[in-house]
Structure formats: C-alpha cells, structure tokens
Amino acid sequence: MTVVESVLSRTPEPLRSALIKHRELLKFGIVGGTTFVVDNGVWYLLKLGVLESKPTTAKAIAIIVATIVSYILNREWSFRTRGGRERHHEAALFFVISGLAVVVNLIPLYLSRYAFHLETPFVERWIQETADFISGSIIGMLLAMVFRFWGFKKWVFPDELGERRRDNNRS
C-alpha cells in the first residue's frame, strides 16, 4: 500500500473523495512537508553556525538544497504521470521556476529583517527568531509553494505531455 493510499484509507468521506480528486495536490503537499523539514533543518544549522550573521544567505542555501530534494520527489512521485520532456529540459525549467520561487520565499524574511528591523539589537533574540520563522518559513514558504505548484503544473510537468511519460512508464 502506498503512502497516499494509506492516508486515504484512514480519511473519512467526503474528505476522501476530495483528496482522491486532488491526489496530485496531496502528493505535492507531502513533498512540500518533507522539503519544509529539509529547508528548516539546513537553514537553522547554517544560521546558528557558520552563517549566523547572514540569515538570508543561509535561507537561500537551505532553499536550494530543499529544491534539489523537491525536484527528485516531484518528478518521481507527485507529477510522475505528467511531463515528458527530455530530463535536462525539464530540470532546467524546474530550477528556473524554483529560482523565481526562492525570490518569492525570501521577500517576507528580507522585509522582516531589513524593513521592519526585527533583528537584534532592535529587538530581543527570541523576537528575531520568531519573526524569522514566521516570515521565512511560514509566509515565504506558503507564497513560494503556491507559485511552484502553478509553475510546475503549467510549465515543467504539463498534462499535455503526460501521455508520452505514461507511455514510457508502461514499457
């Protein structure tokens, strides 16, 4: 039994029907949850270590690592029946969309730190860390997630190319 089938078997109706209808979105959300952990793990490791004075740089590196994980999981699981371009073309489009999403993701953190001055010495350390988490890991990530889902479905893994990919998986 797959992860999605396991989740769906424990979900009551009518929610189960809605999730089945939006299975791709559910898988994208699971991948997003996984990459959320990767992103924040790398970010805090860097931010509390070698890049303590450069939280935006640390976040950008964390996003890049999480994006690589995201490409592999989305290509092989979330959107496995879509797409069909040459892998290098598909990967290039994925990373362009993801690169734009990095900018979207960083805007709230940048504003929090440098426009609203929610950083030490202007505020206490716990306020800075809370503001960083809310702006970088909640608001930024949600905005970037919406942008990525739209971009991946429209440009990277378009359904009209899915026939080719579904045929290749059968052989």
Buried/exposed code over 27-58 (b: 16+ C-beta within 10 A; e: otherwise): bbebbbeebeebbbebbbebbeeebeeebbeb
pTM of the predicted protein model? 0.69
What pLDDT does 117 receive?
95
**Percent residues over pLDDT 90 in the chain:** 44
Q: How far apart are CA 45 and CA 99, in angstroms?
A: 22
49, 89, 48, 80: which is closest to 159 by C-alpha?
80
Q: Which residue has the higher pLDDT, 33 or 7?
A: 33
pLDDT for 170 beyond 60: no
Q: What is the DSSP letter of 57?
A: H
* pLDDT tens-digit map of 74-118: 988 888 887 777 888 888 999 999 989 989 989 999 999 999 999
Confidence of residue 171 (pLDDT cuts 50, 70, 90): very low
Confidence of residue 163 (pLDDT cuts 50, 70, 90): low
What pLDDT does 168 receive?
56
Confidence of residue 169 (pLDDT cuts 50, 70, 90): low
